[in-house]
Copies of this chain bind each other. A is one copy, B any other.
Amino acid sequence: MSFLCFGEIMLRLTPNDKHDKIFKSNMFQANYAGSESNVASSLALLGNQVQFVSKLPNNQLGDSAISSLQSYGVDTSSIIAGGNRIGTYFIELGSSIRPSKVLYDRTGSAISEIKENEFDWNILLKGKKWLFVSGITPALSKQCLLETIKIVKTAKTLGVKVSFDMNYRRTLWSSSKKARSCFDQILENTDLLFGNIGVLKDVYNMDFKGSDDIEKTIEAISLTKKQFGIAKLAFTCRNHLSASLNEISGVYLEGNGVLVSKRYTVNILDRFGTGDAFAAAFLHATEKKWDSQKRLEYAAAAFALKHT
């Protein structure tokens, strides 16, 4: 088994008519998603062996989330059954000048109410090559924070490489300071970091002088490397021409040389999960031991395609 991903998978409800608002919609498409589970599914679809660890309620919706993961080939045998409810969110897709909206209904979800020692990380991490976590999970509850740090440290101890997507969800943290103190502990154990300039600004109050998003990202990635001593960093960058038209690319730093990927101009259909596609593709390419530029181009292409 190559990968272990830990996080929350939620019921996602989207108006069936993609242009409808939540307010007036009377028909919702249902699927199951979440940053870490998206990464797990993508990795499995690409042919990797992946285990997803989480907690889901013992009802039809929990079963359905598991079935969805299995359909991509993800190993779900270690997901704990229990808790009261599955986290839920509603999506309103933007268009042109109207941005997308997310309505979370996640308080009290199964994973947010886990207790100490529900997961035995030593056993779960055994035989894995990579751990993947994101900055979302520690924001869900105090125990989620403790477990995320614990799994990262255990991985380090066991020699499992740690990849971390430094996602920051403003509404889930009481303050950026809390996120910072958590991220600090994860970052010092991170082998491969995914991020972007936005999260560094939000969490670490960093600011960048570059004249465009690529320059700023190069600056950010170098600074981050220095500050936290991380071996490999892969960042996405984005220039908002409009809410539905973006220029995007990827930047990779390993050793000394910064690499920049091809630039894509994309009409955005659905921006959700694009960062996850980038991370999954990069991990896959790393596991394939492709050279650095190829890794980055592969991830950037996956990132771009996911917008369509």
Q: Which A residues form the contact surface with B (CB < 8 A)?
A: 13, 16-19, 21-31, 59-61, 63-64, 67-68, 70-73, 84-86, 88, 90, 92, 94-98, 103, 105, 107-108, 242, 244, 264-270, 304-305, 307-308
Given contacts A17-B29, A242-B267, 15 further A-B contacts (CB under 8 A): A16-B27, A22-B60, A22-B61, A23-B64, A60-B90, A61-B103, A86-B105, A95-B267, A95-B308, A96-B267, A96-B269, A97-B266, A97-B308, A98-B308, A242-B265
Q: In the complex, which residues of chain B have a beta carbon less than 8 angstroms from the beta carbon of A13?
A: 13, 28
Closest to A306 in B: B98
**Which of B30, B63, B85, B108 is within 8 Å of A28, CB to CB?**
B30
Inter-subunit contact A244/B269 (CB<8 Å): no
Q: In the complex, which residues of chain B have a beta carbon less than 8 angstroms from the beta carbon of A18?
A: 19
Inter-subunit contact B60/A269 (CB<8 Å): no
14 inter-chain pairs at a CB distance below 8 angstroms, sorted by A residue, are A17-B29, A26-B29, A28-B30, A59-B103, A60-B103, A61-B105, A67-B71, A70-B70, A85-B107, A96-B266, A96-B267, A96-B308, A97-B265, A98-B305
Inter-subunit contact B60/A21 (CB<8 Å): yes
A163 to chain B, nearest CB (A): 25
Given known contacts A307-B96, A308-B95, is B30 in contact with A26 (CB within 8 Å)?
yes
Inter-subunit contact A67/B23 (CB<8 Å): yes
Say how many copies of this protein the assembly contains: 6
**Which of B73, B84, B269 is within 8 Å of A19, CB to CB?**
B269
Given known contacts A95-B308, A265-B242, is B30 in contact with A29 (CB within 8 Å)?
no
A31 CA to B22 CA, complexed, in Å = 12
Q: In the complex, which residues of chain B have a beta carbon less than 8 angstroms from the beta carbon of A23?
A: 60, 63-64, 67
A84 CA to B103 CA, complexed, in Å = 11
Closest to A22 in B: B60
A220 to chain B, nearest CB (A): 25
Inter-subunit contact A305/B72 (CB<8 Å): no
A12 to chain B, nearest CB (A): 11
Q: In the complex, which residues of chain B have a beta carbon less than 8 angstroms from the beta carbon of A19?
A: 18, 269-270, 308
A59 CA to B89 CA, complexed, in Å = 12
A96 CA to B68 CA, complexed, in Å = 27
Inter-subunit contact A27/B24 (CB<8 Å): no
Given known contacts A31-B26, A95-B308, A308-B95, is B60 in contact with A67 (CB within 8 Å)?
no
Closest to A243 in B: B308
Closest to A85 in B: B105
Q: In the complex, which residues of chain B have a beta carbon less than 8 angstroms from the beta carbon of A28?
A: 13, 27-28, 30
A247 to chain B, nearest CB (A): 12
Q: In the complex, which residues of chain B have a beta carbon less than 8 angstroms from the beta carbon of A90?
A: 60-61
Closest to A92 in B: B60
Inter-subunit contact B72/A67 (CB<8 Å): yes
A83 to chain B, nearest CB (A): 11
- Which of A13, A96, A308 is packed against the most chain B CB atoms within 10 Å? A96
